Amino acid sequence: MTFKAFFEGIESLADALLFPLFNALRNLEPQSWWGANFMSWLFIGIFFAAFYYWMKQLSQFNASGEEDTTQTAHSYLGDS
């Protein structure tokens, strides 16, 4: 298998499967702006869910008091 065949396989996958889905969303835009931007809204929703989870975990970790917050907690902060 050559690199050319590998990249041609990726091209055929994108042309046959991925691009028609996004072209359908683009063609939907004159009828429904919200529907055409479905993928954007989906990714924004995933981002906010992950951000909320991350902040919740950070607050639980901070509330447990496990972290050493002294000035010499890390070697790169100095000895004093």
- How high does pLDDT run on average in the chain? 87
User: What is the per-residue pLDDT for 38?
Assistant: 85
With a pLDDT cut of 90, the percent of the chain lying above it is: 39
How many domains does one find in the chain? 1
Range of the domain at 54: 3-63
Strands of 1-80, DSSP E:
none
Which residue shows structure tokens 């924004």? 44
* Residue 9 forms part of a structural domain: yes
Tell whether the model's pLDDT for residue 80 goes beyond 60.
no
CA 11 vs. chain centroid, Å, equals 23
Of the candidates 53, 51, 29, which has an alpha carbon nearest to the alpha carbon of residue 40?
29
* Residue 75 forms part of a structural domain: no
Determine the Cα–Cα distance for residues 11 and 14; give it in Å rounded to an integer. Answer: 5
* Residue 53 forms part of a structural domain: yes
User: What is the per-residue pLDDT for 78?
Assistant: 65
